[in-house]
């Protein structure tokens, strides 16, 4: 049997990139001789993050459509035609057995060409509200792996597989890494650690909250591992100190999660799935600037199970210190949140998605 060949496409944000990497890692574990190629947008973060994960990547000249009239919108038809041409060339040269899309604009033209060539395609949708690209591709996809119930309102019901979101293996195996994490982040031993994560680009409102409460954290004998995101690092790096570790990006999320006693996070689908596996007490601050307010829905699905705390951006000044003080002062509450969030984890999501992909290969 000839070597299997997989193309994976998804990017723009970590929420699209890391599921693709997790799926590739699982397929590589099952098929060590297989060949892998990623396809992303040539000016987005996947062009750096995917090679760091050990995979080759090709870039397309593609971007999304802005809501208002811009020069970027006027260029979109030309970018789409360019990306379709390059996608045809990539697929002709690589000859994949399956093409997998995890969302993001680059996956659109690539999977459209794969469908035209009758190559099996699989979509992986992380969110409770489906992305534009996956909705555009859904009718021609062979299978659509989802993480939330009720996705038939976006996709053909017969194609849906309820798998959960892929989580990288290193995040599943964070136990017994506390000493390594402490050394990696230069943390003070026996001091409680708060991990702050706002997404790869950063979260303006979350960063403002942390800045406003630095003296509060210090007064409560807490140290921070604070991921500001790419857009905000220059503004907040001045707060770097023995008690405050300021990072643009966290390359070792396994160690960051291992070090954390409590976590403050946005509620993107990928983050929620990871945090269920990590099983630490979480305060979610959902972004209100997303389609259908799906981050609030993501967070509320955990709050209803007494598995997390949620604070809306509009109530941070009024409630943050009150809610956080209640959390740090109660071991019982911390243990309850940790136990309940773990019940919602789907540790086999990546394996189940890989299994669905393998079924397509056997079928063809």
The answer to whether 329 is annotated as binding is: no
d(CA 213, CA 210): 5
Neighbours of 172 (CB within 10 A): 16
The answer to whether 168 is annotated as binding is: yes
The answer to whether 193 is annotated as binding is: no
Task: Extract the tokens encoding 150.
Answer: 């009720």
DSSP string, 178-245: HHHHHHHTTPPTTSEEEEEE--SS--HHHHHHHHHTHHHHHHTTEEEEEE--TTTHHHHGGG-SSSEE
* Nearest of 182, 307, 189, 202 to residue 256 by alpha carbon: 182
CA 251 to chain centroid, in Å, comes to 13
Q: Decide if 114 contacts 99 (C-beta within 8 A).
A: yes
Q: Exposed (0-12), middle (13-18) or buried (19+): which is 343, by Cβ within 10 Å?
A: exposed
* Nearest of 136, 144, 168 to residue 62 by alpha carbon: 136
The answer to whether 314 is annotated as binding is: no
Q: Decide if 7 contacts 100 (C-beta within 8 A).
A: yes
Q: Decide if 107 contacts 101 (C-beta within 8 A).
A: yes
The answer to whether 83 is annotated as binding is: no
d(CA 359, CA 323): 47
DSSP string, 72-99: HHHHHHHHHHHHHHHHHHHHHHH--SEE
Binding-site residues for UDP-N-acetyl-alpha-D-glucosamine, in ranges, read 13-15, 127, 168, 200, 295
* Binding-site annotation, residues: 13-15, 127, 168, 200, 295
């Amino acid at each position: 049997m000839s070597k299997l060949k997989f193309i994976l496409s998804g990017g723009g944000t970590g929420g699209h990139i890391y599921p693709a990497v997790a799926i590739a890692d699982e397929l590589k574990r099952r098929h060590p001789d297989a060949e892998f190629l990623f396809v992303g947008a040539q000016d987005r973060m996947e062009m750096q993050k995917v090679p760091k994960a050990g995979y080759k990547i090709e870039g397309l000249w593609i971007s999304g459509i802005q809501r208002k009239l811009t020069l970027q919108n006027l260029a979109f038809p030309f970018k789409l035609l360019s990306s379709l041409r390059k996608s045809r060339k990539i697929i002709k040269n690589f000859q994949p057995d399956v093409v997998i899309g995890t969302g993001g604009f680059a996956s659109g033209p690539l999977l459209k060409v794969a469908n035209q060539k009758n190559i099996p395609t699989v979509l992986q949708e992380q969110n409770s509200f489906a992305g534009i690209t996956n909705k555009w591709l859904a009718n021609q996809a062979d299978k659509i792996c989802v993480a939330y119930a009720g996705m038939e309102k976006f996709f053909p019901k017969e194609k849906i597989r309820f798998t959960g979101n892929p989580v990288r293996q290193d995040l599943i195996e964070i136990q017994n890494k506390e000493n390594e994490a402490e050394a990696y982040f230069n943390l003070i031993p026996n001091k409680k650690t708060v991990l702050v994560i706002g997404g790869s680009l950063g979260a303006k409102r979350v960063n403002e909250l942390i800045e406003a409460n630095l003296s509060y954290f210090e007064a409560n004998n807490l140290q921070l591992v604070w991921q500001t995101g790419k857009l905000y690092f220059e503004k907040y790096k001045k707060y770097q100190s023995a008690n405050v570790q300021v990072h643009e990006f966290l390359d070792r999320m396994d160690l960051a999660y291992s070090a954390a006693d409590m976590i403050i996070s946005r509620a993107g689908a990928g983050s929620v799935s990871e945090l269920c596996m990590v099983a630490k007490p979480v305060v979610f601050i959902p972004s209100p600037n997303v389609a259908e307010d799906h981050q609030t829905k993501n967070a509320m699905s955990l709050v209803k199970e007494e598995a997390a705390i949620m604070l809306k951006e509009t109530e941070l000044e009024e409630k943050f210190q009150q809610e956080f003080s209640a959390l740090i002062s109660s071991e019982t509450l911390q243990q309850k949140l940790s136990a309940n969030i773990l019940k919602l984890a789907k540790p086999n999501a990546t394996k189940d998605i890989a299994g669905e992909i393998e079924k397509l290969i056997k079928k063809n």
